[in-house]
Structures are given as C-alpha cells and as structure tokens.
Amino acid sequence: MVGLVRPAGVDDAAAIAGVHVATWRTTYGGLLPDDFLASLDAAGYEERWRRTLGERSDRVYVAEDRDGVVGFASGGRERAGETGYSGELYAIYVTREAQGRGHGRRLVQAVAGGLREMGLPDMIVWVLRDNTSARDFYEKLGGVLVRTQPITIGAALLQEVSYGWKSLDAIRY
C-alpha cells in the first residue's frame, strides 16, 4: 500500500480533515497568525469535506501509505473566471513526514486525470507567494507563473500567485 493514490469517499472525510488541519499548521506557520492556525478545527473541516465528497462535483483524491491517509488533493472547474483556464487544482496537501516520497506528484496526476474526465484540458493553481516549497513544486511540474493577487486569510493580508498549464499534457511528473 506504499504510495497508493485513490479517489476519496465520504468515509475519508475525517482523515482528510486531519491532514488538512495538520498541514496548514506546519505549512503556514510563520506565514499566518498563530492564533488563526491554533483555531483550526478538524471537526469543522470534517463536516465540510463530508459535504464536498457527498456532492461529488469536485474530484478529490487521497494518498495513503502504511500509516494511512497522508495527503489529499482536490480539483474541478476553475472557480474565479480566470481567462484561459477551465480546470483548477483547488488544494493539495501532504503531511510533512510523508513529503519527498512522490505523493504530491501522484496526487497532481490523479487530479489531472479527473479534470480530463470532466472535459477540462488545462489547469491553474493558486499558492501563497511566500510558500516557496509549494512554488518550487509547481515550477518543477512545469507550471508557468500567471499572476499575483491579494488574499485575506484570517486577519492576514497576503499575496497569492497562480501557476498554469495550458495543457494537462504539459505537466511534468
């Protein structure tokens, strides 16, 4: 079971929520206010993921290894009306302990497959400008910088950047 990526089901909501909260705390420590990160609640995220997975309009995948679910990714139709992109990688998170094992690449590959099934030929992703490890990851996958915009998370005003692939076939795994 090492390195398995599979479509997520409603029964995965609690595991996804746990990964979601844990990865936000490790990824965004120093970027977002500590009190905001401390306030994140896995139970609230579980309910949100349970709804998302029940609706089945987004494509959601989990990465598993011998320790269980260690990452997830979701995608679907581009949400903000960005010209030139019909698909979007909404979220991708892998626990710090499980990074560097190919889970991220496999999750992106799964989302890209889901976008293809939806008839979406391209993809955009948004990432915090100061999240250099994620930006490096998208650049290694061949993502091209699209633009920068402000975003407010909690009480913090930050900048986010987008990376795009004009063709899903251009993603370098």
pTM of the model: 0.95
Distance, CA of 99 to chain centre: 14
pLDDT tens per residue, range 122-170:
999 999 999 999 999 999 999 999 999 999 998 899 999 999 999 999 9
Where do the domains of the chain lie? 4-170
Sign of the four-CA dihedral 129, 134, 139, 141: negative
Q: Which CATH architecture has domain 4-170?
A: 3-Layer(aba) Sandwich (3.40)
How many other C-beta atoms lie within 10 A of the C-beta of residue 90? 19
Edge-to-edge order in the sheet of strand 123-128: 4-7, 59-65, 68-77, 87-94, 123-128, 156-165, 144-153
Q: Which of 154, 129, 138 is nearest to 104 (CA)?
A: 138
Report the pLDDT averaged over residues 100-104: 96
**Dihedral-angle region of residue 65 (phi above 0 means left; psi in -120 to 50 means alpha; beta otherwise):** beta
Q: Which residue has the higher pLDDT, 1 or 11?
A: 11
pLDDT tens per residue, range 12-62:
999 999 999 999 999 999 999 999 999 999 999 999 999 999 998 999 999
